[in-house]
Amino acid sequence: MHVKTEDDVLILTGKDKGLTGEVIEADPKHSQVKVARRNMIVKHEQPNPVSGEEGKRVESEGWIDASNVALYIDEADEPKPVRIGYKFVGAGGELFDEKVEARRSFEGDGPEAIHKVRIARQTGDVIDEIPEY
């Protein structure tokens, strides 16, 4: 999935189209996200006469399909969606297109797992933090 928890995203479709927010929960299995204060739904709770609680309306964020949100860059007038690419981190934090190239850069004594980071295709900026080996 191209978005993770705590990413700032732009909503591309639906009643909140064009608005931005932070991802507060992600469900990669179903490819859905919850964005803070976006796609709000209302549920009603019944009153409970035994405990004395009154009925109420409860607002919460609804799920949005991950294909309907995009990471964005903040331009002068309006936020613009960014396409995501991936690179692999090699020795010294150098980025490689292929996982094999990143593994070769360690010359035999590298980590067991090679990390993959997200990059913005338009600008080439790294979105995720580059781990130190």
pLDDT tens, per residue, the chain with 133 residues: 999 999 999 999 999 999 999 999 999 999 999 999 999 999 999 999 999 999 999 999 999 999 999 999 887 778 889 999 999 999 999 999 999 999 999 988 888 899 999 999 988 999 999 988 7
Amino acid at 91: A
What CATH fold (topology level) applies to the domain 1-82?
Answer: SH3 type barrels. (2.30.30)
- What span, in angstroms and rounded, lies between the C-alpha atoms of 30 and 28? 5
Q: Which residues, in sequence order, are CB contacts of 52 under 8 Å at separation 6+?
A: none
What six digits make up the tokens of 40?
């709000």
Torsion 51-57-58-62 (CA) sign: positive
The stretches of the chain forming alpha helices (DSSP H) are 99-104
Which regions of the chain carry the CATH code 2.30.30.30? Answer: 1-82
- What span, in angstroms and rounded, lies between the C-alpha atoms of 87 and 106? 16
